[in-house]
Structure 1
Amino acid sequence: IDLHSAITPDVFKHRFKSYMKNIEPNEWVTGGNWDHEHWGGLLPTRQWIDEYTVDNPVLVSRVDGHMALANSKALEIAGINKHTSDPKGGVIVRDSKTGMPTGILKDNAIALVSVRIPENTVEKRNRILNTAMKHAASVGITQIHDMCSWKDLNTYRENKNSLTLRIFALPWYTNWKRLIQLVREDGYGDNYLRWSGIKAMVDGSLGSRTAWMYDPYLDDNTTSGLVRITDTIDFK
């Protein structure tokens, strides 16, 4: 679901109402790209979308990827409730009166739900790639940088002879050893697909109020952000 142009809470909700008409029960709803700054900064909650998504788990990301909204079904599948502790480097946003999760998950807390989403099949990954390349071409985009998963990189490699988009891939930092081995075996790629770096998120983002600061945020003095990478063993 695409929520980028949802400029009011009502439009946000209506997008879900319309989108869910064509979704099978139990199918995960992902995507998002929403921005709460469009309507003044009020964060969406699971109550906004629960009535339209009773039979489907939902996890939709904010435009920066550092915050996401999960509906009640997704929280239930992940086992998240008022007693669930915040993970290191993440925040489960809670209702100030009841302590119940609002559905908003920040940074490392997003993974509590995202790990429950079934992996796409190879065939579906290929379809997604072809759809993305056609859309990119339709708007004049010829080259991208993608901070991708290792499976995404493999999808690019498996389709390297049919790429219509130049891709500079930067896999997640936990794959750095595999990337070194790939460079040894296959160099840095070619003119259409290259890899020579990694992506890491040391802290959060300004839009999600999780970028790590010396002092608390002026509009939220309860936080000065957070550190996502909490164990240096990831780099050893």
Structure 2
Amino acid sequence: MSNTITVSTQGINESLTDSNGDFDTVERGEMTPDEFVDFIRKASQLKIPESIGDSEEYCPPHIITNNSTGIVSFLMDGGKIECLEVEDYVTPFEACMLANGEKNPEVMKLEKSGGTKLKSTDNSQANSQLTENIVIKRGGKFKRFLGYVLSLIFISGGIIIGVAGIRFGLKNGKNEDLYIGLAALVIGVIIGFIIFRAVKKSAGKSGSNYDANEGIVYAQTLNAMHDDNYNDSTDYGDFDGGD
């Protein structure tokens, strides 16, 4: 793990005192994690002028970092730091972990969305833990299809047998056949409707847990990522940048 972070900025003047809206990139060189935390904390105080609006001629204050795992960029706005890859606000220490490659942006995005908290801040371990806690949904649509077919069989079967029994009873003047036909009709429709409702309800519950596009559900307990000693309120202390 690298102990230095390559930093450049856009929309920030050389002395880091003003959001000048300039699209030219200013190379800030390499920084240690401690230096980067101080740098981004100071830069985060820069504000985007309200008069700018959505002007395409103004470049908001950006910090761009580069490490062995790729580029991570941050948008400054009056005390807030937004990581564009995470699509959420981060603290200076979280920004440093992302910039230094100690935290994967996709993993932090999952954390920020309430998916889970990971024990490990190591990039490879975090990716491994994330992969272990993804379950691919297979066969759900087929099971629901069978359920709908079964409900249709009961409903249509009840109707066919019931109508046939009623017609036979009316034709021969036998009340017993008429009652049997009515009973078959009612029972078949009720059973089919119950099965249909159960399948539909089950599909609704599954849909709330699974991604509609990819068919992916995050494991609900996420026990593989947690242990009894894990503490959400980790005190980072002096940030040393890893090994």
TM-score above 0.5, yes or no: no
Q: TM-score, normalised by structure 2?
A: 0.24
Q: TM-score, normalised by structure 1?
A: 0.25
* Greater per-residue helix proportion: 2
Larger C-alpha radius of gyration, 1 or 2?
A: 2
